[in-house]
Structure 1
Amino acid sequence: MTTPRDPMLSMLSALSAEVGKQGEAMKAQSERLGEVEATVLDVGKRLKRVTEEPKEPPVPVWSWATMDADKAAEAWAALSAWVRDVLQERYPTSRAALAPCWYKHTDVVEELSALMAAWTRAFGLADSAPPGAIEWLDRWLPGCLRRVETLLQRCRTDNFRHTERLPALVELDATGFGDWVMADLAERPDAP
């Protein structure tokens, strides 16, 4: 014979089982929320690193048109050294795009200056990373060299006393570089 308590016990037992299931579900949700919270904190840390001030100053892109004589002297020295010591030495195929008179072409000077700044950002800073290096090698270097080669094509084919493509290192002294830089510096305003 069943007593009125038997259905109540069955109901309480079923309710207890359901509460147990709900407790397990809540525990799983709590664990998942913990994982989501950890992910959100990680993303927040990464965003903070990206938005913080850089540890090193940004690489400047020169404005040759507005440089005074002192800045231009520094820029000419840095650019000519970079073209000779880095571009031509590390990337010898670049020599095919250059002509001994590259420095006489303002558009080529701008191209090479921008390429040097991009190279410095990709390789020369403490926070340089592989993606920047790969982008420089795959995108910036070939694109710039194609444009430079096109810009200097007339100097190779017209009779401007410029030599054809040189497979050897392009030496600036033989092409009047010093005189050209001195004339350029004489035309610029004095430093403030």
Structure 2
Amino acid sequence: MSWFRRRYAVTGSDAMIPPCWYRHPVAVEELTALMVSHQSTYTLDEPGSELSAFHVQWLWPTLRDLAERAGYKRCTDCKCSFTAPDIVDDPGGLRKWVSGDIAARH
């Protein structure tokens, strides 16, 4: 990650990647996707517009939006503010809610 930060000067608030990025599951997934896309783009037999497209369509928009989606806008170099959300896997509760909602509409 350090090569990436140096190469792209990713330090500002518009496209920040905090030191705790690996604690944020969304950041891990999206940065992994960018890495794979980057590797794929730079290993083409005949590079074309894909090199520019990677930067314009994928890299910068992802980095700009990632801080919000990954939940690290409040993180600092000294403290990670991430708390994993509670995931409720309750299909029975969902069915009951949907049934009640449908009944209320009739």
Q: For this structure pair, what is the TM-score category when the shorter chain's length is used for normalisation?
A: 0.5 to 0.7
CA RMSD in angstroms, aligned pairs only? 2.2
Identity of aligned residues (%): 28
Q: Pick the aligned partner of 2:57 from 130, 139, 143.
A: 139
More helix per residue: 1 or 2? 1
Mapping for residues 30-179 of structure 1, pairs under 5 Å: 83-85=1-3, 87-92=4-9, 94-96=10-12, 97-123=16-42, 125-127=43-45, 129-150=47-68, 151=70, 152-156=72-76, 161-162=79-80
* Separation of aligned partners in 2, 1:112 and 1:102: 9
TM-score, with structure 1 as normaliser: 0.35
| Per-residue CA distance 1:110-149 (angstroms, 9 max, x = gap) | 01000001111112x1515131101011111111101222
Letter in 2 for 1:154: R
**CA distance, structure 2, for counterparts of residue 143 and residue 134 of structure 1:** 13
Q: In structure 2, how many angstroms separate the alpha carbons of the residues matched to 1:145 and 1:153?
A: 12
The 3 A distance-change label for structure 1 pair 111 and 128 is farther
Unaligned runs of 5+ in 2: 81-106
* Structure number with larger C-alpha Rg: 1
Q: Distance in 2 between matches of 1:122 and 1:142?
A: 15
5+ long unaligned stretches in structure 1: 1-82, 163-192
Paired residue secondary structure (1:129)? coil
- Alignment partners' CA distance in 2, 1:153 and 1:109: 15
CA distance in 2, matches of 1:113, 1:107: 10
Residue correspondences, number: 75
TM-score, normalized by length of structure 2? 0.61
